[in-house]
Amino acid sequence: MKVHNFNAGPSVLPKEVVKKSAQSVINFNDTGLSLLEISHRSIDFLEIIEKATCLVKRIMNLNDDYAILFLQGGATLQFSMVPYNLMNQKAAYLDTGFWAHNAINEAKKFGQVKILFSGKNKNYTYISKNYHIPCNVDYFHCTSNNTIVGTQMKIFPKTSIPIVCDMSSDIFSRKLDFCQFSLIYASAQKNVSSAGMTIVIVKKDILGKLKKNIPSYMDYKIHIQNNSILNTPNVFSIYTSMLTLEWIENQGGLTILEKKNQYKAKLLYDEIDKNHLFENKIHKENRSNMNVSFFLKKKNLEEKFNKMWKKENIVGLDGHRYLGGYRASIYNALPLESVQFLIEIMREFEKKFS
């Protein structure tokens, strides 16, 4: 049975990654042990984390000025870890969505937060480019892709201030100059791995400048010194991320994946725009290539549409509980055929009820 998985996270992974991960749970590398049983300090695991680290740097074209960490606590923990390590007095933030707003609320516990732009009064349907980053802030924080509403930053500001970016829902989906960022973090359960692990990519020279007594688990420098195994890491999720990173390279890297993602997104947005029953509320220049939100123009048709797509083995199409409507998350591993199939369902629905 073919299932079309549009879940926002945990979400679709490449089939070969799922197959290899599943096999590793039974017998990892012919060791006679399950991956779930091996020591996180064994040579087997150290090889996994080393390979995953090298793959991240190679795919993102980063040098050894950057450290790669595989941590726990999700992006939510990073909302606190970032200001704990980087905020002396003041930081600048963009309020572009629900998670960006949560990051701001956590940062306020550590110092002054200057909000350069907020889209909250417009239901986060657009991202302004008209903001100025002050020269007296410790860092600038942005969220590259907003999973709930479906907006995405297409360009990033030029500044001498360290840029921190939450890339949880679009990391490894497009080619960027990643050297423009001083710190990137991303929860893994969108484009990288299973839930329970967060990738942090940090430029080492921005750390250790504050006179703070930072708790060990919250201190990036200590995690770097301990190669991400200050405590027992999520072995399974790190292994799965390594497999996904191998898959990304085998696909041709970020340039190829970006073209595929743009094509999938264009197909779906074009259908929404011309279909008489559906609408997308996001400004066109800010539409996400990862999370496509849309609504029925006639709310009384929702029950019929829900019945139709669920009958066709489509899963995860419900919009976020805060927003309603529908959301198709079309991450790297989602096949083109799943997007085409959803479009067919939307067209069939239009014929019946337009």
- Which residues have a catalytic role annotated? 99, 166, 190
Q: Residues 186-205, buried b or exposed e (16+ Cβ, 10 A)?
A: bbbbbbbbbebbbbbbbbee
Q: Which strands form 163-166's sheet, in the order they lie side by side? A: 66-71, 198-203, 183-187, 163-166, 140-143, 90-95, 112-118
Using CA atoms of 182, 226, 72, 246 in order, give the dihedral in degrees to the nearest 10.
Answer: 70
SS3 label, residue 257: helix
**Nearest Cα to 331, choosing from 166, 192, 191?**
191
Secondary structure E strands in the chain: 4-5, 66-71, 90-95, 112-118, 140-143, 145-146, 151-152, 163-166, 183-187, 198-203, 278-279, 291-296, 314-315, 326-329
Q: What is the Cα 186 distance to its own chain's centre? A: 5
Beta carbons of 150 and 99 less than 8 angstroms apart: no
269-287 burial string, b = 16+ CB within 10 Å, else e?
bebbeebebbebbbeeebb
- Residues 7/11/16/18 CA torsion (nearest 10 deg): -120
Q: How far apart are CA 247 and CA 174, in angstroms?
A: 15
